[in-house]
Structure 1
Amino acid sequence: MTADQRLLLVHAHPDDESINQGAIMAKYVAEGRGVTLVSCTAGELGEILVPELEHLSPEELAEHRRGELADAMKELGVTDYRWLGGFGTYRDSGMKWHADGHAVAADDVHDNAFWHADLTEAADHLVRVIREVRPQVLVTYDQFGGYGHPDHIQAHRVAMYAAQLAAVPSYRRDLGEAWDIAKIYWGAMSESRLRAGLRMLREAGDTTSFEGMDPEGPLPYFAIKDEDLTAAVDAQEFIDHKMAAMRAHATQITTDGPFFALSNNVGSTAWGIEYFRIAKGTPGPVGQDGFETDLFAGL
């Protein structure tokens, strides 16, 4: 990769990247920055939302979602996307819902599930990528994986550990020359922006999108108070690319689902401004709202 500034994203399943950071991925590609995506599983156990594909086995769904990811990356302009350890190395762990409203590990977890992966082994796969790509910025989930999905939590652990190991000169020299990532961010959703969007949905008469979420009441774990956010990257001009990438993940996202409902009612600000918490590094200059406007700010 020859770009002077390089971003590495680590996600659990195909579609996570488009939902969470599709806009900035397209923005940075258009600006000539390097963008590399590492997906940790192929999402074998994702819920199939296309009736004619409901017959697919987990292995067949994995292959189908591999194609969906390729189509999504074309929409975003990303050419460097990889599977942790190679396609099929780790399997989707699945999940179930806890009574408190967050995800937890399923009762039956496959032996080769990402949730069961040896942390050092999985991290070493990513160390090799980090030392090859040499990104200045890494984006992944927070310690709870946004909403508790075991694969999201494991992706967080692997990404954070790999970033540490990759910076140690004497560690696994066979994986490449040491590289210290300057800034690490955890993707987030702005609580105030989510509340505003929910209010507009409800005022428009939409009571089914994000069902159960009260704009004036408690919100899910992924809604982060604005005081804890560091960066708000405005990529609204690339919202069409993000939405097209989300449509490419047709087995997982429906065009009449809550993501598109929010976009249709609130506009491009709903998904075109993406938020982050800094986990490592020094924040750079901020805009008038007090947030960094670029993940590379200060570098």
Structure 2
Amino acid sequence: MRAMTDHRLLLVHAHPDDECINNGATMARYVDEGIGVTLVTCTAGEMGEVLVPDLSHLAYDDKGGLGDHRRGELDDAMAVLGVTDHRFLGGFGRFHDSGMAWHEDGHAIAAETLPDNAFWTTDIIEAADELVAIIREVRPQVLVTYDQFGGYGHPDHIQAHRVAMYASQLAAAPSYRLDLGEPHDVAKIYWTAMSESRMRESLRKLRESGDTETFKGMEPDDKLPPFVTPDELISAKVDGSTTVQRKMDALAKHATQVDTSGHFFSGAESGHSWWSDEYYRLVKGTAGPVDADGFEADLFAGL
């Protein structure tokens, strides 16, 4: 591990496990480089699906308790990645997982019935103020969150995007809520992305291997869903070849949410190849030097 630097990365995610899927390799890389990594998780994921039969009683519509269990899974996952600063927005249990439903077009939408204190319907200033205090305390140069659609439409992902973007503006305002700390302007903000060319290449390998179930309904030469980003909109690609094993080990700690016998971990396109490189869209700040493929190789490039 390199000596600690004065660089700091802040990631804002909706539920436990989102951080590993989207940014696990990136987080592990920056921990190794001595960069401060802070994860803010907005809900405990109380409404998530339970994939472990022996733990099915934890489901929200059964006995409940999934949020407490996922809190432990997140602790274990962060220990694998080496991230020591991870927090729940406003403290554990402040904002509740909103749940979701599926639209006929194949993306997530808000469910008809929402739990009490659902993050999706919380007052955005109330949630943003909690994040303003963290931004002003941690003082990150780089912030990572979802795009405006939350990747695939999950209401909590969309709300996390809104809260992160609004809080970053409020945190920089010299006259706003000085009781929340000294103003701080985040230099670079990125949205997570899935490369279109990478997705098409991976789908082609899956179909050629005879796998017709993984990402069923998606074909390599057809129109792709909104969570896939055209390469021309992508600014950065973090090479996770040296940290992907830790990413996968950390993801496996989210056992109630991830099937370790599924495509994330095995098959023609296992997680080790599918998810090793992590892509980002720069939405605030100036891009640094790019590599031969036209991408920044470092989220802190140019700082």
Q: More displaced, 287-296 or 251-260?
A: 251-260
Q: Who is 1:25 aligned against?
A: 27
Q: 2:288 aligns with which of 275, 278, 284?
A: 284
The Cα shift of 1:265 comes to 3.0
> How many pairs are equivalent?
297
Could you say which residue in structure 1 is the equivalent of 2:174? 169
Return the match for 1:159 from 157, 164, 171: 164
Structure 1 Cα separation of the partners of residues 264 and 226 of structure 2: 17
| Deviation sequence 1:179-238 (CA, Å, 0-9, x none) | 000000000000110110111111112111112211111212110000010001112100
- The secondary structure found in structure 2 opposite 1:272 is coil
Matched position secondary structure for 2:11? strand
Asked if structure 2 preserves the Cα contact closer than 8 Å seen for 1:42 and 1:66, the reply is yes
1:224 is paired with a residue whose SS is coil
**What is the CA distance between 1:266 and its match in structure 2?**
5.9
Deviation per residue, 1:159-187 (Å, 9 max, x gap) = 00000000011110110000000000000
Which residue among 244, 254, 258 is the counterpart of 1:239?
A: 244
* Structure 2 spans left out of the alignment, 5+ residues: none
Letter aligned with residue 286 of structure 1: V
Aligned pairs for 1:1-299 (under 5 A) are 3-58=5-60, 59-261=64-266, 265=269, 268-299=272-303
Shift of 1:277: 0.4
| Structure whose residues are more often helix by fraction | 1
Amino acid at match of 1:216: D
Q: Give yes or no for contact 1:69–1:248 (8 Å, CA) kept in 2.
A: yes
**1:98–1:104 Cα contact (<8 Å) kept:** yes
Letter paired with 1:66: R
Detail structure 1 runs of 4+ shifted over 6 Å in the superposition.
none
Q: Aligned AA for 1:26? A: A
SS of the residue aligned with 2:291? Answer: coil
Deviations 1:98-142 (A, max 9, x none): 011110000101230000110001000000000000000000000
| 1-structure distance, mates of 2:53, 2:85 | 31
Structure 1: gaps of 5 or more residues: none
Q: Distance in 1 between matches of 2:181 and 2:266?
A: 45
TM-superposed CA distance for 1:261, in Å, is 3.6
Q: Percent identity?
A: 66
* 1:238-296 deviation line (CA, Å, top 9, x unaligned): 0100000110001001112232246x536744211100001100100000000000000
Counterpart of 2:284 in structure 1: which amino acid?
A: K
* C-alpha contact (below 8 Å) 1:187/1:276 kept by paired residues: yes
- Work out whether residues 204 and 265 of structure 1, in 8 Å CA contact, stay in contact via their aligned partners in 2: no
Cα deviation code 1:6-37 (max 9, x no counterpart) = 00000000000000000000000001001000
The answer to whether the 8 A contact 2:27-2:81 is kept is yes
- Relative to the length of structure 2, the TM-score reads 0.96
Q: Is the 8 A contact 1:200 1:266 kept in 2?
A: no
Q: Deviations over 1:49-81 (max 9, x none)?
A: 000111114341000000000010011000000
Whether contact under 8 Å (1:230, 1:283) holds in the other structure is yes
State the alpha-carbon separation in 2 of the partners of residues 224 and 163 from structure 1: 23
